[in-house]
Structure 1
Amino acid sequence: MAPMATPMAENLRVRTAAVREAQRVLGSAPAERRTAALRALKDVLLRSRAEISRANEADLSLAAEEGLSGPLLHRLGLSDAKFESLLEGVDALADGEDPIDQVLSRTELDEGLVLESVRSPLGVLLIIFESRPDAVIQIGSLAIRSGNGVIMKGGREAAHSNVVLVDCLRRALEGVGLNPRAVLGVPDRRDVDELLALDDLIDLVIPRGSGALVRSIQERSRIPVLGHAEGVCHLYVDASADPDMAVRLAVDGKCDYPAACNATETLLVHASFLPRLPGIGDALRERGVELRCDERALRALPWAEAASEQDWGQEFGALTLAVRTVESLEEAVDHIHRYGSSHTDAIVAEDRETGERFLKEVDAASVFHNASTRFADGFRYGLGAEVGISTARIHARGPVGVEGLLTTRWLLRGEGQGAADYGPGRRSFTHRPLDG
């Protein structure tokens, strides 16, 4: 006999079933209705700015009392710049083409029998993320555009902000006649285990956090998991690198937002570039960066700290950078594959052939030539927003925008044909490609 469901579990199942029901309405609604919901979301956010600020200030105050570290406090804050970026992302999604039912291919199977492959929502998403409350709007707006229902479990440190922002999403849906139950926020960490058991109602789990979090969820659920492991991002300074560009990209990658998962964590330096390494080192030191160097790099930067084996493959999330010397492009790529997290890696090189080899040979979700690792972001990629950055190798990879939240369906339009009409001595398939 199956164990009797607890009232809490049953309540969560009922609420999740309501998300599923609301999602089917959202996913089949006219494109104009989803666009209207995004327009309404921007209006709701603007009208609710003071309420959002008060909630965020309450979260920041509690977090400071509990001794939350500086980088995490920065993630938790919802500054004016972050708020404006959220509005821009919502605008970009509203201005973009609605993806649902876009025809990917049309094939005539026979005269009067036409098959289409079209884009379709995945269904119900469970997103588990940490301290960034702006993720609520990024995730929610992507869910609206892609016609997916979404359940969000944010970090407890952002509890006040998350409640207000989830309410903004629900008000936007309700304001255009869509069911607000397509969006659900769950504040209790204990709810996660209950949700991970609802594989008949939830179609995809996207955890935004450490690799340990991703692995833990994969072990506890039969629901597919789109994982975001650590952001151990590398910048390789090649022998042919322009020194000024190397300084600029090293500083931007490390200092622009040290707590971000796309911040540079390890600087790899070709041995022949070592005489010019002090230019990079001094620029980073001026910005308060602690450098942890291997023996050869330490001779060029004697004021730095000595690196340990643990520093390679470390996501510092702060103004700390590991520096290692390599003899060749091959050694740099080998280091990245050994210690990296397949998130984002970049090369500084004037030699185009070397740059192209790096782009081809490095196995990561995003690989850059002469650009900062900080560009690995859904908004910067023109996706409007991102639900996370996938370091997995299935379904979607890198910043996951609208397209990463879609699957396909097959639509067949006929005139009464049956499968028994076809075969030897009967009708034959034409399988003729048609224009979309």
Structure 2
Amino acid sequence: MAHPPQIRIPATYMRGGTSKGVFFVLDDLPDVARVPGAPRDRLLMRVIGSPDPYGKQTDGMGAATSSTSKTVILSRSTRPDHDVDYLFGQVSIDKAFVDWSGNCGNLSAAVGPFAISNGLIDPARVPRDGVAVVRIWQANIGKTIISHVPMTAGEVQETGDFELDGVTFPAAEVRLEFMDPAEEGEGGAMFPTGNLVDALEVPGVGTFRATMINSGIPTIFLEADALGFHGAELQDDVNGDAATLARLETIRAHGALRMGLIKSIADAAQRQHTPKVAWVSRPKAYVASSGKRIGVGDVDLLVRAMSMGKLHHAMMGTASVAIATAAAIPGTLVNLAAGGGARESVCFGHPSGTLRVGSQALEVDGQWKVTKAIMSRSARVLMQGRVHVPFAG
């Protein structure tokens, strides 16, 4: 029996923030994978090594975590005032599907550097030295991201002294602006239920106070103590407890239904990437996963978040946008955990350390509007060349 050879596709393996993913230029993909559909999904799953019933992704580029089972497709933008179109695919580890329902805020930091290095940006817009401003169209959610990429001697600067908790080594800082992150889109308004805090009833589990917000990524914020948590959990405190994970997934499914993101509870199984479930608490001292000591006075609040069914080792970039937005609006659970009142920035503690994020919010005719959320990340190329993949179309 004849077996076709593997195909070879130009690709770049990049870290962006606390995530890693395989980046492609759209025109480098096989013809059948240049458009949405089953062939594209099959290709990306095979690149990453999914579905893998062993949960290891040994036969692919993934590393068997939600932070590393990611793919990105970029192309020159045809939209006015944008440079590049950015499409993100979250690949399920053990199931045969790719979730296209949201963005990856961490990998957003790598989009500008990749686009510049791969000739997707008009050279006239890229300074030899200084900061290149890359205008990104986030195609999954229909939003604009402005990336500020440092340049040195005509090349993207990747090394530097910017430190990001959750990333071992320092690198160059990439500043991101998420424009109008909470404008109406899928799931409706910023607060899909119309309330800053709701009573979320979850049959068989309980009723919880919840802030359900659509900013950066749809997110359900809960109170840590209502879940039986202290708020300073690390991954091992949660991810080995099957009953706790099942309970959180049930809450996520009912929250998704309440937010209008799915039509039935059963639909949640095919939408693992969104919404996110997070819990908040007032500041308290703890030791981060790196051994770094976080004091009560180091943060405004603590936040823990689930990603693809597991507690995230740090914080998703898009969830950080949701945190920044909710913190800026008095009365949300995030704002209350941070001490209440008006604020334009917040420093929160996560399992790997701390992160400061900012948001500009204002109330107009009784409705809250956020013009942008701001955060800093870093990014660098880990490997570049061609990915080899068995693929027959």
Q: TM-score, length-normalised on structure 1?
A: 0.28
* Higher share in helix: 1
* Higher share in strand: 2
Structure number, greater radius of gyration: 1
